[in-house]
């Protein structure tokens, strides 16, 4: 398949057909290629940039109103991706959609908030999710589109690196009132259940989720935190949560022998600015924290430990659930999409590749398991 940027991604696997020439991916084992074993969706999570591709690619859906178009073919005597095209015995094209039929996508530019609201088919009212991503910035819509496809109104919000936000783009120039406005915008929507709203955050979005949930006037029903810190990894420029420039303090940046950067040490609890740390003991709703044990971008295990210890000391252990996945990296996303162990972070002022961690097969297993458990957690806390 080609990404929206035109890059070719491919995966392949070797199967032995049964007596009548059939291969069943839900039953049969791959004996080689991009993955091995019985992996029904291996051809999808095993996708990697084709040989000769640009460095630092990461597969992410930008326009959720169009599908990915995937070409699946059966080749005779195919051994490796670099060889000439083998004889194609059969082929099929399949589409991967992020929006179920009837889901509505609504651009939000209200009360200063830059976001996209996805509503399920029907009149509702629906339980809601506020969707916060990390310091990669921009407006990321695919998780919200998938939540709406499963019956939740979901609002994805941009807070850094978006041309319609106050500049410059390498710092956070919106504060607590911005995120409160986003939460209340979702809460006040006539098709949303005002008292059944959760917040999900990945990476720096975890800090924002925790900060928002302990803020006066915001009462979420549940929180889902994926691989992120309890405090700000960037120096705050004011009490409202705005930050200095992201590249300003590189004290804890670590580089591997290829010159790729890991931000892991930046978010060790001891390295977070004390004044930014969220008062976890003030949490009043259930929190699911998801850990990728091979996370090279965030000190997820240490932050999960701190949250668990703080809630235990406050007599609130019952609020905390931890999912922990060996071999999974930082970017635990919706399932059946390939992990990037590293990808391009920035081109200016210099080209920088960042390390995310995670190995293809265990990361894929983590995404599949975590997604089921995220949906169960939302069901239990937002619908019952």
5 burial via Cβ count (<10 Å: 0-12, 13-18, 19+): exposed
The catalytically annotated residue of 221, 294, 300, 330 is 330
What is the radius of gyration, based on Cα positions, of the chain?
A: 21
Is residue 295 part of the annotated active site? The answer reads yes
Is residue 363 part of the annotated active site? The answer reads no
Is residue 203 part of the annotated active site? The answer reads yes
Distance, in Å, from the CA atom of 88 to the CA atom of 321, rounded to the nearest integer, reads: 48
Phi-psi category of residue 319: left, alpha or beta, with phi > 0 → left and psi -120 to 50 → alpha:
alpha
Q: At what angle do helices 204-213 and 176-187 cross, to 10 degrees?
A: 70
Distance, in Å, from the CA atom of 342 to the CA atom of 345, rounded to the nearest integer, reads: 9
**Residue 132's closest CA among 228, 186, 63, 204?**
204
In this structure, is the dihedral angle defined by the CA atoms of residues 47, 228, 131 and 114, taken in order, positive or negative? negative
The catalytically annotated residue of 295, 297, 337, 363 is 295
Percent of residues in the chain assigned helix, strand, coil, to nearest 5: 25, 25, 50
The catalytically annotated residue of 3, 203, 221, 298 is 203
Strands 352-355 and 342-346: antiparallel
Strands 48-49 and 68-76: unpaired
Distance, in Å, from the CA atom of 268 to the CA atom of 107, rounded to the nearest integer, reads: 36
Which contiguous run of DSSP H or E holds residue 287?
A: strand 287-292
CB atoms within 10 A of CB 255: 11
The widest CA-to-CA distance across the chain, in whole angstroms, is: 70
Whether residue 147 contacts residue 154, with contact meaning beta carbons closer than 8 Å, is answered with yes
Distance, in Å, from the CA atom of 35 to the CA atom of 11, rounded to the nearest integer, reads: 9
Catalytic residues, by residue number, are 203, 295, 330
């Amino acid at each position: 398949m080609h990404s929206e940027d035109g890059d070719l991604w491919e995966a392949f696997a070797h199967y032995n057909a049964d007596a009548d020439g059939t291969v069943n991916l839900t039953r049969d084992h791959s004996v080689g290629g991009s993955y091995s074993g019985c992996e029904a969706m291996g051809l999808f999570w095993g996708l990697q940039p084709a040989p000769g591709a640009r460095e630092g690619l990461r597969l992410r859906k930008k326009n959720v109103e169009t599908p990915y178009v995937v070409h699946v073919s059966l080749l005779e005597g195919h051994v490796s991706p670099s060889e000439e095209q083998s004889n194609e015995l059969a082929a099929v094209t399949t589409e991967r959609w992020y929006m179920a039929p009837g889901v509505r996508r609504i651009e939000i530019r209200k009360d200063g908030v830059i976001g996209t609201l996805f509503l399920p088919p029907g009149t509702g009212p629906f339980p809601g999710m506020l969707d916060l991503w990390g310091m990669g910035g921009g407006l990321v819509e695919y998780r919200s589109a998938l939540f709406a496809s499963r019956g939740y109104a979901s609002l994805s919000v941009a807070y850094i690196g978006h041309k319609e936000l106050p500049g410059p783009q390498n710092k956070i120039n919106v504060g607590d009132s911005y995120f409160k406005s986003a939460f209340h915008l979702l809460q006040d929507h006539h098709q949303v259940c005002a008292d059944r709203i959760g917040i999900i955050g990945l990476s720096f979005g975890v800090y924002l989720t925790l900060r928002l949930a302990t803020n006066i006037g915001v009462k979420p029903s549940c929180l889902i935190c994926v691989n992120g810190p309890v405090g700000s990894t960037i120096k705050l420029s004011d009490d409202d949560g705005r930050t200095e420039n992201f590249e300003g303090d590189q004290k804890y940046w670590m580089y591997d022998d290829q010159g790729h950067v890991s931000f892991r040490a930046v978010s060790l609890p001891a390295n977070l600015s004390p004044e930014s740390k969220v008062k976890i003991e003030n949490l009043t709703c259930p929190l699911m924290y998801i850990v990728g044990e091979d996370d090279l971008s965030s000190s997820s295990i240490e932050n999960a430990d701190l949250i668990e210890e703080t809630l235990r000391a406050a007599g609130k252990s019952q609020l905390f659930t931890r999912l922990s996945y060996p071999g999974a990296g930082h970017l635990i996303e919706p399932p059946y999409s390939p992990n990037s162990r590293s990808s391009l972070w920035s081109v200016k002022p210099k080209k920088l590749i960042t390390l995310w961690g995670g190995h293809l097969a265990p990361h894929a297993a983590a995404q599949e398991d975590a997604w089921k458990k995220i949906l169960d957690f939302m069901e239990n806390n937002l619908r019952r």
